[in-house]
Amino acid sequence: MRRVSVFGSTGSIGQSTLDLIGRGDFDVVALTGGANVTQLAADAIRLRAEVAVTAFDDRLEELRDALAGSGVEAAAGTAALEEAADRAADWTMSAIVGAAGLIPSLRALRHGGTLALANKESLVCAGPLLLSEAARRGATVLPVDSEHSAVFQALVGEDVAAVEKVVITASGGGLRDLPLESLRNATPEQAGMHPNWDMGQRITIDSASMFNKAMELIETKEFFGLPPAKIDTIIHPQSLIHALVQFADGAMMAHLGAADMRHAIGYALNWPDRRHLPVERLDLAQVARLEFHAPDPARYPALAIARGVMDRGGLSGAAFNAAKEVALDLFIARQMRFTDMAPLVERVLERLEARGCLEGDTMTLDMVLETDRIARETATAVASGDHAA
């Protein structure tokens, strides 16, 4: 049996992953989660995991109690997450949300197995570092974002040099039909309602602001090694086409599938084979039509900021992600307006660039973590009105 671990198992991606793992024949090594200890313990017992880890130290006793008598080891905290990643696995799902997923992803690569990457922050913050570590360890990195999985699948057997353009699609998020003048007063509850997907609060709000798509633009550049000019995005309200690849001969390949993350997860789990997946089959006659719209720069300023990050390269991705996470925290806490998030991120990037914090031809983990720290401090100071930040 293949040994598998799932980091971020209690989130939406993690739960979809466990659904597929539970239908197969796998030896589960580690499951990790956050505050939902009850779900984490239940899944660990059901799948007979070796260890279950909560990210929160103060939930350890609760986790131990929930696992009592099961034979599943309980652990908590950052060090325990890293130790879980050090346990040998043939296939690891990286689905921890945010920059916190970077170190477990890097450590999982040491086994030389397959890293199924749903944590887009790993590539945005440290793409060159992660991919070079994978190459050094003989490991395989497979994309699990539905858009990047779609691009990956469209490129099977193709020469990347023949690609003219990659277009990743976007739903437009829960506020796509809200009048532009009303965005300023949008609430976390409004932004947290997605028209097509059932996701967590943070990623759903990122969908409404298009910060998730901005991240995916950067991720596309890093994963596929494409220049920014060959990467684009388009609003596709139905979310049935996940990405399109246009080639030098004018042909365009589109990847279609129902709005179910088990498509991309199952592809990564079974790669290089294709196996039956318990997902909806599309009936195009029922779909009837597919719509596409160019994203409005005024509604989605995060996309332009991402273009600047792709052009700068280096450590700007780490700064971009950190500032974005701070802005999102402030919006969720109702300490920042929806329309103030993008300007905050832009100001942080401008200030760090002016201070020379984003320069450098090399990248190390320490450099990424230090940039993350400085960007978070700067974002917090700027948001509080500290003009000296």
Q: How confident is the model at residue 47 (pLDDT cuts 50, 70, 90)?
A: very high
pLDDT of residue 98: 76
Instruction: Give the C-alpha separation, 95 to 106, whole Å.
Output: 13
Average pLDDT in the 325-330 region? 97
Query: What's the N-to-C CA distance of the chain in angstroms?
Result: 53
Secondary structure string (H, E, C) spanning 155-189: CCCCCHHHEEEEEEEECCCCCCCCCHHHHHHCCHH
Q: Which of 46-60, 315-329, 375-389 has the lowest mean pLDDT?
A: 375-389
Sequence-distant (≥ 6) Cβ neighbours of residue 11 within 8 angstroms: 33, 34, 95, 96, 97, 200
Instruction: Give the C-alpha separation, 168 to 380, whole Å.
Output: 31
Average pLDDT in the 33-48 region? 97
Give percent above pLDDT 90 in the chain: 90
Q: How confident is the model at residue 389 (pLDDT cuts 50, 70, 90)?
A: low
Task: Give, as one character, the DSSP assignment of residue 257.
Answer: -
Q: How confident is the model at residue 202 (pLDDT cuts 50, 70, 90)?
A: confident
Amino acid in position 28: V
Sequence-distant (≥ 6) Cβ neighbours of residue 171 within 8 angstroms: 194, 195, 196, 197, 207, 235, 236, 237, 239
Instruction: Give the C-alpha separation, 365 to 196, whole Å.
Output: 36
pLDDT of residue 120: 86
Q: Which of 233-237, 264-268, 361-365 has the lowest mean pLDDT?
A: 361-365
Structure tokens at 163: 């690609």
Average pLDDT in the 10-17 region? 95
The SS3 call for residue 112 is coil
Average pLDDT in the 267-292 region? 95
Instruction: Give the C-alpha separation, 387 to 379, whole Å.
Output: 11
Q: Is it the case that residue 340 has pLDDT exceeding 70?
A: yes
Q: Is it the case that residue 311 has pLDDT exceeding 70?
A: yes
Angle at 294 between CA 291 and CA 295, to 5 degrees: 115
Under 8 Å between Cβ of 109 and 129: no
Structure tokens at 26: 């796998």
pLDDT of residue 388: 57
Under 8 Å between Cβ of 109 and 5: no
CB neighbours of residue 35 within 10 Å: 14
Q: Which of 24-38, 77-91, 92-106, 124-138 has the lowest mean pLDDT?
A: 92-106
Q: Where are the alpha helices (DSSP H) in the chain?
A: 12-21, 37-47, 60-67, 78-86, 102-108, 120-137, 146-154, 188-191, 201-209, 211-224, 262-270, 284-287, 302-312, 316-332, 341-354, 365-383
Under 8 Å between Cβ of 379 and 326: yes
7: phi then psi, degrees, rounded to nearest 5: -100, 120
Q: Which of 231-240, 285-294, 316-325, 352-361 has the lowest mean pLDDT?
A: 352-361
Place of tokens 């976007």: 170
- β-strand partners of 141: 115
Structure tokens at 377: 């401090």
CA-CA-CA-CA dihedral for 116, 120, 124, 130, to nearest 10: -20
Q: Which of 191-200, 239-248, 317-326 has the lowest mean pLDDT?
A: 191-200
| Model confidence pLDDT, tens digit, residues 248-277 | 999 999 999 998 999 999 999 999 999 999
Average pLDDT in the 62-70 region? 98
Place of tokens 């200030």: 351
Structure tokens at 162: 């023949």
The SS3 call for residue 31 is strand
Q: Is it the case that residue 387 has pLDDT exceeding 70?
A: no
| Model confidence pLDDT, tens digit, residues 69-122 | 999 999 999 999 999 999 999 999 999 987 788 999 999 999 999 999 998 889
What is the pTM (predicted TM-score) of this model? 0.92
Q: Is it the case that residue 385 has pLDDT exceeding 90?
A: no
Under 8 Å between Cβ of 40 and 14: no
Under 8 Å between Cβ of 90 and 4: yes
Average pLDDT in the 135-156 region? 96
Average pLDDT in the 337-354 region? 97
